[in-house]
Amino acid sequence: MQMLHQAVDSARGVVFDLFHTLTAREADRAKNLFTYELLGLTREAWEAQLFETSRYRLTGEVRDPFQIVARMARAINPQIEDAVIHAALPSRLERFAEALTNIPPPNLDLLAALRRHNRRLGLISNADVIDMHNWKNSPLAGCFDSVVFSCEVGLVKPEPEIFWHCLNELGLKPNECLYVGDGGSHELTAARSLCFTTVMVAGIVRERWPEQIESLAEDADFVIEEPIELLPPKWAVP
């Protein structure tokens, strides 16, 4: 942990992932049904669509919420009716609205401490218009010097261009920054290849995908459970 705190102390900037990194654990969030449950699909099939085969939504090519959900759902089951998709949409919107609103206070304390110590802060998120529709109401919204949503810039992690987009806005180089994320979308692999110091936040992964911890951690210079562990003791939140 001492080496991680030294890395934070010497960095000029910290770039964060959003979902599953700065958002709350599922156990601490509202118990709305998942979209795949409302659609009558398996978690595995739905997550394959979310994370592997839906670049069109993440780049903003498709921006209509119904069309986003319909295209993913019908790639799994072409027979799903419009009414089922329409019924699932409010819950999905609510889940992401709640995710962006219910940010754990220690994560906000961490960001505030980094700002007090003059670290430039970036956020890079693979997100479609459903994922980010409530961003303006999030307590995170004013915390960053650069906010990059994939659907707004047409770039997606792990493409190096999305990292450079953020870095250019921060006015920093990769070797001056930490990249902090859960490891999804091969983000840690990409960040390390650009010479970021990489930090994996494992808490939500351990909760939802424990079988992936070992492989995701391979490209992390450091592994922590919660973001607040980044905070050097001498920077303790007052």
Residue with tokens 């890079």: 124
At 204, which CATH number? Answer: 3.40.50.1000
The pTM score is: 0.95
Give the tens place of pLDDT for each residue, 151-210.
Answer: 999 999 999 999 999 999 999 999 999 999 999 999 999 999 999 999 999 999 999 999
Q: Domain tally for the chain?
A: 2
Q: Which domain holds residue 41?
A: 35-100
Q: Is the dihedral of CA 62, 64, 68, 71 positive or negative?
A: negative
In a domain, residue 189? The reply is yes
| 3-class secondary structure, 195 | coil
Tokens of 114: 């980094």
Task: Say whether both 167 and 223 belong to one domain.
Answer: yes
Angle between helices 65-76 and 43-52 (to 10 degrees): 120
Residue 42 has pLDDT above 90, yes or no: yes
Task: Say whether both 188 and 203 belong to one domain.
Answer: yes
In a domain, residue 30? The reply is no
User: CA-CA distance, 42 to 38, in Å (whole number)?
Assistant: 10
In a domain, residue 29? The reply is no
What are the backbone dihedrals phi and psi of residue 236, each rounded to the nearest 5 degrees, phi first? -45, 135
Domain limit, last residue, from 100, 120, 145:
100
Task: Say whether both 161 and 229 belong to one domain.
Answer: yes
For residue 236, the model assigns a pLDDT of 76
Task: Say whether both 92 and 119 belong to one domain.
Answer: no
Task: Say whether both 136 and 175 belong to one domain.
Answer: yes
Task: Say whether both 79 and 125 belong to one domain.
Answer: no
